[in-house]
Amino acid sequence: MDEPEYTTTIGGLNVLVDKDGGGTIGRAYVGTWTVSVLNGPVFVLDNSELRTGMPKTHAQVARLAAEFASEQIDAG
């Protein structure tokens, strides 16, 4: 992602989120999202696809991506 639509830090992880096809921050969308999660300088997820069946905002998708990445980190 060159310039993500949404960036945040959750639990020390940097999360970058884009709604595939474009999206407006604060609006909820169903479908495919592209997410990257960094633990310091290391990518845990790098331009990974995340699909939602229920409408989600960029912030909600960021939380989901951070939770998934945290599980992967914990699993080693």
Q: pLDDT in tens for each of the 76 residues of the chain?
A: 478 999 999 999 999 999 999 999 999 999 999 999 999 999 999 999 999 999 999 999 999 999 999 999 998 7
pLDDT of residue 51: 96
pLDDT of residue 44: 96
Q: How far is CA 1 from the centre of its chain?
A: 11
**Under 8 Å between Cβ of 35 and 15:** yes
- The rounded distance, in Å, linking the Cα atoms of 56 and 2 is 22
Residue 48, phi then psi, degrees to nearest 5: -85, 145
pLDDT of residue 1: 45
Full-model pTM? 0.93
Q: Write down the domain spans for the chain.
A: 6-75
Dihedral sign from CA coordinates of 56, 64, 15, 35:
negative
